[in-house]
Amino acid sequence: MTRRIVVIGGGENAEHDVSLATASGIAQALHSGGFDVDELVIDRDGLWRRGPEVLGSRAAGSLAAALSVIEGADVVFPAIHGPSGEDGTLAALCALTHTPMVGSGLRAGAVGMDKWTTKLVAQAIGIPTAPGRLVTAAEIADIGFESDVVVKPASAGSSYGVGLARDAAELRDALRWAARFDDRILIEDVVLGREIDLAVLREADGRRWASPPLEIHATGLFDTQSKYDGSARFSVPADIKAADRAALAAAAVRIFDALGCAGVARVDFFLTERGPVLNEINTIPGMTPQSQVPRMFAAAGLHYQELVARLVDTATVPGLRSPVLTM
């Protein structure tokens, strides 16, 4: 029997267009793989859309109409990056409707989306992170400059709001820019090292494994512009020593497990002279055929259409992995 998959893209955040590209790639791969595919989009105003049809005129009614589409799904495949998607929002929706879903549940999505909380988890399990501190947008005027730092929103993706500050004036500008995306802001020391990403896949049988590493070659900060203007270059597998590759893979699986991730996640590191330093984790990473995660798995012989199909096989109902206890 053909399985019906509902792919959800879009979202009410800065990554809306990136999410649409991810959703389109996933939907096409599923069509090619013989699945019955339905596509839902959350527009920038919060209204849901099914193809060209806008579902309702207000957010609550629109969601209610979308739920009738989700009700008929065998599996939901979320493809919304960033807040109100990747942060566990869609996982919560699937949990409440008892709908099997691809990817991480609410807890892993929420923690992984919050860079500061992810740092605390990583430090607790012995994975180094960049020294830094958390500030609020209200504190911007009182923050002094100490050294070259990277400024980033605590919860945002695609490097939106990320800036490099080398003096006090640049710090003020970077803080104001980051505050447009979140009122909680990270200020981190610059880490000198190679930018290496890995992806971790949890198979349907629970086995986790890390992809070959990918190295990012970019001039200066790997920011939103360099991510999408074609100026950055990727090499996969990265040309690194076997010991470094093993250390990166082990750290990637450890943080994946510590957060309770499922499906696939991309884990970003700096490879320094002292070993891997965690940058961040993405629980709903970019998934077009040209995105980093599919490139990494392709280097291991797992190509895009098969990767997407195997992710469907991993789907579970978030939060219902344990039996319900009754008194």
CATH number at residue 48: 3.40.50.20
Considering the domain architecture, whether residues 211 and 138 belong to the same structural domain is answered as no
Give 144's pLDDT tier (boundaries 50, 70, 90): confident
Q: Is the pLDDT confidence value at 110 over 50?
A: yes
Residue 228 has pLDDT above 60, yes or no: no
Positive or negative CA dihedral for 312, 16, 159, 123?
negative
Look at residue 50 in the predicted model and tell me its pLDDT.
Answer: 97
Residue with tokens 């267009």: 17
- Residue 48 inside a domain? The answer is yes
Q: pTM above 0.75?
A: yes
Q: Can the peptide bond before residue 237 be classed as cis, meaning omega within 30 degrees of 0?
A: yes
Residue 325 has pLDDT above 50, yes or no: no
Q: Which of 9, 79, 68 is nearest to 44 (CA)?
A: 9
Is the domain of 85 the same as that of 123?
no
Model confidence band, residue 1 (pLDDT cutoffs 50, 70, 90): confident
Residues 185 and 195 grouped into a single domain = no
Mean pLDDT of 151-175: 89
The pLDDT tens digits of the residues spanning 24-82 come to 999 999 999 999 999 999 999 999 999 999 999 999 999 999 999 999 999 999 999 99
pLDDT in tens, 111-128: 999 999 999 999 999 999
What residue numbers bound the domain in which 40 lies?
A: 4-102
Is residue 320 domain-resident? Answer: no
- CATH, residue 182: 3.30.1490.20
257 and 184 within one domain: no
Q: How many domains are contained in the chain?
A: 3
Q: What pLDDT score does 226 carry?
A: 53
**Whether residues 72 and 50 fall in one domain:** yes
In a domain, 282, yes or no: yes
For residue 252, give the CATH number of its domain.
3.30.470.20
158 is a domain residue: yes
Residue 135 has which token pair?
């500030």
Q: How confident is the model at residue 326 (pLDDT cuts 50, 70, 90)?
A: very low
Identify the pLDDT of residue 321: 52
The answer to whether residues 86 and 144 belong to one domain is: no
On whether both 264 and 281 belong to a single domain, the answer is yes
Helix (H, G, I), strand (E, B) or coil at 221: coil
For residues 175 and 289, membership in a common domain is answered with no
- Contacts (Cβ under 8 Å, ≥6 apart) of 237: 212, 213, 214, 299
